[in-house]
A and B are shown apart, each in its own frame.
Chain A
Amino acid sequence: MTLVFEEHVDGPATHVIVIGVGTYTYMPEEGLSSPPYSARAFANWMLKKYRNPKKPLASLELLVSDAQTTEFTLPGGEVTCLEKASMTKAKEAIWQWKDRSDGRCDNLVIFYFCGHGIASGLETVLLMDDYGRNPNAMMENAIDFRGFLLGMDKCKAREQCYFVDACRKISETLIESDYQGDPVIHGSVRHSSLGMRRAPVYYSTVPGGEAYGRSNAPSVFTEALIKSLEGAGSDDPEGDWRIYTDRLNVGITYLIERMMGNVARLEQICPAENLTRITLHYIDAKPIVPVTIGCEPNLANKEAELFYSHCDGSNKTTRPNAQTSDWDVDLKEGEYRFSARFANQNYRSRDTDCRHVRPPYRMIRLEVRQ
């Protein structure tokens, strides 16, 4: 079964498909431990935390190829068996997802993929778990993602959001091949003229391999995405806090950089296409904001006792150990005071005034030069 959630919604709704490929039957050496964790984490977030009163979640398709288990525990505790993300199953699931989404123009669709990808230039190909079955046709059992995006213009839902968390390898194969995979849905110039389609696409180029220490855990991109959905990608132009697709990218980019530190290469920072605005999610409470606290000069960090508190001095939290790096914390939107104390006279202790912390992120620099 690939449909793990379905609920009738009167009016516009959200339809989601999540694909995670961690095992490759015909390329066992290319297996990845992270995609099953990433796909489950994103699906779990959608099932447990996604809130969109104007377009509630109506369906979620989940396909995971996982060497460890085929099970998935639903929010109610029920355990279901997942289908593997073979090309046939993925195509069937995509078609059903698209058919369901076709019900209304004001539906929202979300596509998420985590696994191996091949990319070159403007083209991206997503590899399903039976990729490589035919060595004479290396692009079989792979989705031509650009072609798929074009084809999705046939879908009536005018709001579409795509997350592609795929490493990018062996692109030479793609350049040499005349065939770039199966678009699954063939685009047509005679599309339905349903009005403007908003279809932002977020790509990750962070490798899914072990080099970035993400074995048996969600990928850096997916972790940054989920964190951004909880606050960094939000704004409150209408009074309440909502995640907007154009803000989401700012949050993801910052969080990837924060997680990877100076290891982050420029080409690994979340590239995006067509960043127009869609309201994706409504935050129930206050958004969680990534905050980076550090001394100026940076060297002072290792001698500083860094702490923050509410403006009235309550809820004081101190950095456990002084380190050279800045201190990364996640705070609820609101007002805080930030401080640096020094036991010696090399630097000047410093307290900020009351500072407002709001999305997408906040950098607090404490000037401590004597």
Chain B
Amino acid sequence: MSRLKLRLQIGLEENLPEFGVVANVYDVSSRVSERKSVRDLVIPAGPFPERFEEVKLDPGQYVIEAILPSGEVISEEVSIDESTEQRELLLKSDVSPHEWLAWQHFAGNVERSRDAYYKRQQSIVEQKDAVNIRADLVSLLTLPPRILELDMSSPGALVSRGLFFALPQLKDIDPTQPLPDSLPFFGVLVPPVIRDPTSWVYFFEQDSTSFPSYEVECFKRHYLFVRSQGIPAQYCVLPVPWMQADFHGEAAAQVLVRSIAVNPEVSPATDPGYRISVTVHDHVVGSIISYLGTGKLQAAATIMKKAIEMLEEKVANPMAAAAGAYVLLGTEDLSQPKDWHDWVGNLMKWFPWLPDGAIQHAWLKMNQQDSERNLFEARASLLEGYRRGLPFYSKGVGMLRDGLALFANDARAAGEPDKEIEAALKLVRQLALRTNMRQPFATVLL
């Protein structure tokens, strides 16, 4: 047996984290009946050359492939002979248009080839479609529903819950001006750290060495508003402070705002003029979130197998744990009891500012229909999730919308419409219509 040491080289900038990527080793030797492939490996990826994933292989010919969240497949062929004791193989993804876009390229938020990126940039610049944007950071202390019971349709409730899209007065604000003081919040203009003619990148982190307490009643939530002349404004959830799930300190949240040429053939939908993409530099769940964002649940579940204990036992970061829970909810049979079900219950109980935990708990209960009590609890948890406000993840918006729709259907069919559910569904449907399905973190059109 020989040892093959594998890693994927992505980017060279040292501020990129190391993270896991799904890889397969295919035995393509001529002895077809004895082929021994190794699938669903998680290999380290990033700029650092130290770490490898090791596989033991018989002498033979192998094709090694890594599948990125963007769908790009990087493959190499290696030959292992009797004399090979150990071999290192570095898979390389080097087509990112800029070093500073390496992570966004990995996540599938920019074109997969340099040529396509630059051609598009050129065409946008030539057509003068490139937009001047203004980005404001809005931070709000979120009081949990059990402390502050608000009529969810009141402006105060909508603002404190991050449901800004439902405030008509926000749609008409001059994008060249600061967010007005007359609104119950104000924004702080933030300049991009890096830009080219069509891409702007922002980094958000608290630079704190102390570990933030997530287990609080009131939590400060952050949003980035992006506005431009003649183009509908958008805002996104900023998942900060983001502590790495393995207690290795804080990870930056990176926001890319990318200019999109207006194409009359395609409805602007939720990307009018520009697109906002949020990623987190977490080396445990960063790639899980990226796979989740491109719908690759199976790949996300492969990475989860390695991360589950870390997420399950410690809940170092409930936002990271919620990402993991979405993967498990989408890939596991929920009717069978599992240890992680308790962990989802804890996400709901311990973090009353986190809508996603309540929504996930509701779906678990909906799938455990051994008693009426479970359905009662599911309905209550969905409404709790709704009252907590804008979910951190787009997946949460979808599951909230779907859960409410199912309860509404049953009540209507019984001839007794559920007014509370109907009111929540009306607002959440509008949210779902404005949420960009291609982004893992909730990004909403105003």
Q: Which residues of A contact B (CB under 8 A)?
A: 118-123, 146-147, 150, 167-172, 174-175, 178, 180, 186-190, 193, 195-196, 200, 205, 207, 209, 211-212, 235-237, 246, 249-250, 253-254, 257, 262, 264-269, 271-277, 335, 355-356, 358, 360-363
Contacts and interface: CB of A to CB of B under 8 A. Distances in A.
Contacts of B332: 196
A170 B367 contact: no
Contacts, number: 167
A150 B409 CA distance: 11
Main secondary structure of the interface of B (DSSP, over half): mixed
A207 B266 CA distance: 7
B265 interface: yes
A355 B77 contact: yes
B116 A189 contact: no
B402 A146 contact: yes
B410 A188 contact: yes
Contacts of B125: none
B159 interface: no
Contacts of B426: 178
B324 to A, nearest CB: 16
Interface string B115-144: 110011000000000000000000000000
B269 A271 contact: no
B424 to A, nearest CB: 14
B190 interface: no
B296 A275 contact: yes
Nearest to B293: A271
Contacts of B269: 119-121, 168, 171
A169 B267 contact: yes
A341 B330 CA distance: 51
Contacts of A269: 71, 112
B266 A189 contact: no
Contacts of A249: 71, 295-296
B298 A275 contact: yes
Contacts of B436: 121
Contact of B115 (A180, A205, A262, A363): A262
Interface string B329-359: 0111111000000000000000000000000
4 shortest interchain CB distances as A-B pairs: A196-B333, A272-B295, A189-B406, A253-B71
18 contacts: A120-B434, A121-B431, A122-B397, A122-B432, A146-B401, A150-B402, A150-B406, A167-B266, A170-B267, A171-B268, A189-B407, A195-B333, A196-B333, A246-B298, A266-B110, A271-B294, A272-B296, A274-B295
